[in-house]
Amino acid sequence: MKSLSSLGTGLGYGARAARHKLAIVAVAAMATLPAQAQDATVTIAALGDSLTQGYGLPPEEGFVPQLANWLAANGHEGVEVLNAGVSGDTTAGGLSRIGWTLTDDVDGVIVALGGNDLLRGIDPANSRSNLEAILAEVTGRGLPVLLAGMIAPGNYGPEFKRDFDAMYPELADRYDAVYYPFFLQGLGMGTDPGAAADLMQPDGIHPNAEGVAAMVADIGPFVAELVERARD
């Protein structure tokens, strides 16, 4: 398993879990809303990998519960976030399950995939095709989407990095997605992965609860924009 420092800002984090079924767990931002407010609940599905799933953390400290809590604390009441993260998943895995993730209850989608494509050195053209198909499926149903990007390390070569890094902003523009450039930018690593050591679990790959809180605080306003689009 490559560490964060070995991949630089590409951030290899995709520990492959031995799981064959995805349990989508609903985390309500406001569990005791009155009936009228519950009728107006906005449901956001977070499609991702181990970072979204909350690998190595108690359920309440993972990305999805912390995001739901952040939204509620910042005035975005009546928001439910669905955990559609699977550890080790690639863009191809996300594409394979996007159809049944988009239940009738879903009002918007966060797409945070691509890190495990990096770990495996998958051709960026394949990753791009998968992400585009996911975005086409979501927007084809009239749903707003937030696309969270990743950054390729330099050791894959300049052409790989160019193509991988470019696909996120280009696809976000094409599908009018809320664009969040780098899913882990809230950790404040910049060009030095070691700067986030205190925010990582002992594996040096996944953020700890404090690290997740930093991620959520940074991406939160972008998710709030997604929620507002879903309400419109």
At 3 the pLDDT is 38
11 or 97: which carries more pLDDT confidence?
A: 97
Spatial CA neighbour of 102 closest among 112, 114, 94: 94
Burial class (CB in 10 A: 0-12, 13-18, 19+), 82: buried
| Catalytic sites, residue numbers | 50, 203, 206
CA distances to 91, 126, 189, 232 from 117, in Å: 7, 9, 21, 34
At 19 the pLDDT is 38
Token pair recorded at residue 20: 């064959």
**30 pLDDT above the threshold of 70:** no
- Which DSSP string corresponds to 96-125? HHHHHH--TT--EEEEE--HHHHHTT--HH
Q: Report how far residue 211's alpha carbon sits from residue 17's, in angstroms, rounded to the nearest whole number.
A: 21
Looking at the structure, give the CATH architecture of the domain made up of residues 4-231.
Answer: 3-Layer(aba) Sandwich (3.40)
Amino acid at 172: A
* CB within 8 Å of 190: residues ≥ 6 apart: 9
Where exactly are the structural domains of the chain? 4-231
3-25 residue pLDDT tens: 343 343 444 434 433 333 343 44
**DSSP label of 65:** H
The region of weakest confidence among 77-91, 112-126, 189-203, 210-224 is 189-203
Assign 206 a pLDDT band (cuts: 50, 70, 90): very high
**93 pLDDT above the threshold of 70:** yes
Q: Report how far residue 225's alpha carbon sits from residue 227's, in angstroms, rounded to the nearest whole number.
A: 5
128-158 residue pLDDT tens: 999 999 999 999 999 999 999 999 999 999 9
**26 pLDDT above the threshold of 60:** no
